[in-house]
Structure 1
Amino acid sequence: MKIEDFIYSHEIDLSAVQTGSLTWSAPSNIALVKYWGKVGDQIPANPSLSFTLSKCKTITTLDYSVKSEKGISFDLLFEGQPKEDFKPKVQKFFERIVKYCPYIEQYHFVIDTTNTFPHSSGIASSASGMAAMAVNIMSLEKELNPVMSEEYFNQKASFLARLGSGSACRSVSGSVVVWGTQEDVSGSSDLYGVEFPYSLHENFKGYRDVILLVDKGEKQVSSTLGHNLMNGHPYAEQRFAQAHENMTKLRAILEQGNIPEFIALVESEALTLHAMMMTSMPYFILMKPNTLQIIEKIWAFREKTSIPVCFTLDAGANVHVLFPKDNERFVMDFINEELAVFCENAQYIADEMGAGAIRIK
């Protein structure tokens, strides 16, 4: 699909779709091969691959009604209460997508959104939040154009979500999602995420992700600024080449079920992401002392028990503990006995692989 394929070109019959209410949930995701750096209009500088989560999600209701004057207008509620500080990001999202969804200027929206995880947990809600917005908008578009295919719905929803938050495009559909053009991944695109188009080995189905809440404060450096610091970064080109190589390796790993190679690649990717932060100019560190304590504990536990537990990190201090579902009992005991003490108020979120956005009837 090309960009122009996503421009709405059908007649807009407002008389048929005057008012209504839609509700969708969309999950967070955790990248295994990291995207860090972007060009142009939310285009990734390198491809990425993520596991979609199940329990960490945003639930958004979109009420819409036809209005007399054209223009972007909306009210925004968070957990039922007005949330003015969220509005600029949604305004920017609407301004970016109006070219592709011109009908949004003819409706007033009331958006009510909530997260299943605490807003102050340190877990980024931009991916799940923007994905939930995008699938709601596409549901409205489908009411205006009922013949739309499911494939087009998912591709355009992912395309729109990307314009709100890059990683949001990986939260629309699929358990394992690829975003970014990769020669040996069929159908991959810089414009939207695609479900991993190859067989996923049984070893990885239902994979667990326990998110250790090391630091629930706001990051000192935003992801947007961090991405921009890849422009002119001394190691940028090597990093982008490495990401392509790791995508090829990870495809084989996921098909063959090779967990030891999975562990080595995923942990290396996590540390490489933070190495890019520490070697940018200006440089910065998002890991905290407790992040490092947890990593060392995981390494020692894996060495001692041979249980295949590993970690990954996003652009923050929290640690995602990844492991096969068959090892859940042992790993949860380990987390409760040895890792929870390094979390704020001993808090963590036990999650697992999910399947994407779901419409709530």
Structure 2
Amino acid sequence: MLYGYTAFITVDVNNPPVRRIAHVDMDAFYASVELLRYPELRGKAVVIGGGSNAAPELQADGTRRFAKLRDYAGRGVVTTSTYEARAFGVFSAMGMMKAAQLAPDAILLPTDFESYRRYSRLFKDAVRTFTDRIEDRGIDEIYVDLTHVEGESRALGLGIKNAVREATGLTCSIAIAPNKLLAKIGSELDKPDGLTILSLPDLESRIWPLAAKKINGIGPRANERLAALGILTVGDLARADLGLLQENFGRTYAAWLARIAHGVDDREVVVSSEPKSMSRETTFERDMHVGRDRAILTPALTRLCERVTEDLQRKGYRGRTVGLKIKFADFKIVTRDLSLPEPVADTASIRRAVGECLKRVSLDRRIRLIGVRIGSLERATGTPSAPLPLQGELPFDR
């Protein structure tokens, strides 16, 4: 059964309708897909991110023997974790060895991106039975413009959740709000399996009590600087003096902080456009020292290359220009690009190019953020270039 709605569009140009934007976020997506395959692990602390040596072993009695996080050795990072593992402080992008210290008895599973991509297509196809006004934000999240879709917001949200569950067997959390900013924040409020309806009058009661860092775009470093000013919550930010914000963050960023604290966001849901580039980046929980934190930096950079590859292959693109972005602890940003003779869409080629870019960066300061970008995109028609072997010097090993 499909829980679809027909979109009837009637627009009064003099009185445009209040926008109604949903953010659909799959709950612990990779881990939830694995629990479909291994239902005996439900309710247990499970970490995804191991290699093939972490694959479960089938025993003679038909049961499976699972690897434990305590037995992991290497420099990998956590891809994701179940909510039970998160209760121990284990989150995505954390170094696996640190995760093993926090939750040594957690079950360790290898990643299976082919399965994750398949379930991603299934959940997005289910949402398209309601409307095609969808902005793809990654393998496990989308924005949906429901402004012109008939139906009351809560009924629509429940219908989408039921359709996703029927198509995938998985749960998602949805927030429906007047803009993308509030929808994104709202989808986190009632996880897992949540449905949140927000309007601007809810700002003071539901958004202002949240920590400022809950807003996408306020990273750990900016949050530290806000805290030093006594600004701990979104409400504190909304009440902050604009001059104080400009003095500490500059005019542009201060103006953005003031807008988002009052729930203002005019961004449209971008339904279809030819991308000029694709990128992924990660902000670390603390400033990274190139020498002492190499075991975190190197796998994190490799994982970004993998995620860019996933995006390229999922959307059917290849690119000729590979770029590296580094934000240092002093907020200075350095970028380096490398043009390739042939378009690529595989992790090894992208990672090799990123390594070449990294050689042109002076790593004399602590690192706050790293990012990988691929540009000069073209549709991946024909046979892609042969991937380079993933070997040789690791990017941060100097």
Q: TM-score, normalised by structure 2?
A: 0.26
Larger radius of gyration: 2
Structure (1 or 2) with the greater helix fraction: 1
